[in-house]
Structure 1
């Protein structure tokens, strides 16, 4: 099954750190021309950067059309939107300012296109948080950048896989600062975004959400921490009053060890490693990072720049491909959600097109 050309979504791709594995992941993923049956890809980079990595990969069936504006999109090829023309030294595996500088050029051009409606979704390749820092970019990652760029009050970093979804109350913070950011207001805000995203982006009509505790053993009734009794339980209570189906707080170790996550549509973790360690253990290679709460769709793989294997043709594109599939799924789910809002009697499967994509690529 393929989608008529006029109905195909336009999916944008950032190149990530020029010295990382981002462009290799893009080339390996989009060299499978069956993707062109379901989307029109636009890579925000430069022809020269693409050709540099294309030569390093070797036997690769990858061709592209070079564009400088969106009036010349080729629906039957990968499109390279040239964000720069100058020669750039690429040194795979090297952490330097150049890799970060051009990663941000790509990111800003692609995010502008997403905000302006030129693309329907954006898949971001990994960047390195240290070498992107500048007067114009002082963010600890993609998520806070997108929050500011779109001017929204809050967003949620949501890690998704086939049967596991984990959102984070806090993201990239030093451990000593986490507790100060665990507030009733922050938890409720994340729960509201998570609940809305599960309904709109993942076609789950009545989501069941588990909330993890902050302290070991959920604080043991205040013996080893009071955040559960003073902050997390009141937040859950208020969320229930807002008609959310929320349960917790659960002690994180027992929650995952006993497989309790299988009983819920999503989990809200209090901090990065509490959520990411079990997620990557249970779903590594198929995990996707989705920024919930934006007016646009952004996904990414669940790993970093991998400088140790950059330029060696060793990068595994599985998670990157999953991010592409996820972006298409979410586009279709959002369309279905809007249709159902207009006509509540219409109930269709949100996975018809997504299933066709999976079947086509798996052949």
Structure 2
């Protein structure tokens, strides 16, 4: 093991979904070992089953601590929590799998807090299974925020030629509009600016979406939400020297951002931001939680129960999420 390679922890997600399969397929690529040390937190026997499903040739090394990992290509080092029963049915919602997915993430956060790993890359979990397993969270992002004591955070999605950061995420549309306030919009603009500057963009061009069609068109649509909730935040951020403009109509803004007019779009609610990213391709989308004390990236797709167990799930999104975790990692990397 080389000390200046970051250790990237991959959490297995829901064991009944495609997570184990895409992990095994991704770690069959030697490129992931060139600049980093991959480490899985999950169940070793589930990874072994997934390896058979995808007809892989990797070995699984069941370990109990980071120090036991060999980080050698051809062997998957797995901190084995041994939570999944042999009888678990692939492709079905399971309380056991939901509880295990939570525990994998909890273990990863503990390792990150203790500086044992450098970043977390998450395979998908299932929200229904998570709830049935006794953990009432909307998803990964909220678990991470809760377990790290983080109040100001946001979900950023990336795809080829497009980055989107969200003011609100997992809530109904009426609730989301009620939650959009100038203070929150201003904080998300700041998170976007800070994140892209850390990524090497000196003066990020930030564009902000409106809420209503045509961004309200001067009060023609809606009840003045843009003037009340968004414009004060933009004006405040501009005075602070941030390169931000808007609010823009969402129906044209994503096209403009995709062609290169802006570096990132601030979306007001879940589907406003997720839709354009997913049109560009589920296989290439990456979810990054910003504002946390821990680096966390994720695939931008779900557990895909309909194809789990078939071995056909595409690992491209996981590999891209992993690469971005390496890029954001605080340790010096080997080029």
Smaller-chain TM-score bracket: over 0.9
Selected match of 1:5 from 2, 6, 21:
2
Match of 1:64 in 2: 60
SS at match of 2:237: helix
Worse-matched range after superposition: 313-322 or 223-232 = 223-232
Worse-matched range after superposition: 163-172 or 45-54 = 45-54
Worse-matched range after superposition: 68-77 or 209-218 = 68-77
Match of 2:137 in 1: 139
Match of 2:285 in 1: 287
Aligned length in residues: 332
* C-alpha contact 1:212 1:270 (8 A) present in aligned 2: yes
Deviations 1:21-41 (A, max 9, x none): 000010000012332222111
- How big is the shift at 1:164? 1.3
- How big is the shift at 1:82? 0.9
Selected match of 1:249 from 243, 247, 259:
247
**In the aligned structure 1, how far is the partner of 2:84 from the partner of 2:220?**
61
SS at match of 1:122: strand
Match of 2:154 in 1: 156
* C-alpha contact 1:40 1:78 (8 A) present in aligned 2: no
**In the aligned structure 2, how far is the partner of 1:266 from the partner of 1:176?**
25
- How big is the shift at 1:259? 5.3
* C-alpha contact 1:5 1:75 (8 A) present in aligned 2: no
Worse-matched range after superposition: 103-112 or 255-264 = 255-264
Residue 214 of structure 2 is aligned to residue 210 of structure 1: no
* C-alpha contact 2:39 2:71 (8 A) present in aligned 1: no
SS at match of 1:324: helix
* C-alpha contact 2:99 2:134 (8 A) present in aligned 1: no
- How big is the shift at 1:260? 6.3
Selected match of 1:118 from 97, 112, 116:
116
Deviations 1:178-218 (A, max 9, x none): 11011001101111111111111x11111110000000011
Match of 1:306 in 2: 304
**In the aligned structure 1, how far is the partner of 2:39 from the partner of 2:12?**
11
Match of 2:71 in 1: 75
> Which protein has the bigger helix share?
1
**In the aligned structure 1, how far is the partner of 2:206 from the partner of 2:257?**
14
Deviations 1:267-301 (A, max 9, x none): 10000110110111124321110001111110001
- How big is the shift at 1:107? 1.4
* C-alpha contact 1:13 1:122 (8 A) present in aligned 2: yes
* C-alpha contact 2:122 2:298 (8 A) present in aligned 1: yes
Residue 230 of structure 2 is aligned to residue 219 of structure 1: no
TM-score by structure 1 length?
Answer: 0.87
- How big is the shift at 1:257? 4.0
* C-alpha contact 1:83 1:109 (8 A) present in aligned 2: no
Match of 1:24 in 2: 21
Distance 1:10 1:257, change over 3 A: closer
Match of 1:228 in 2: 226
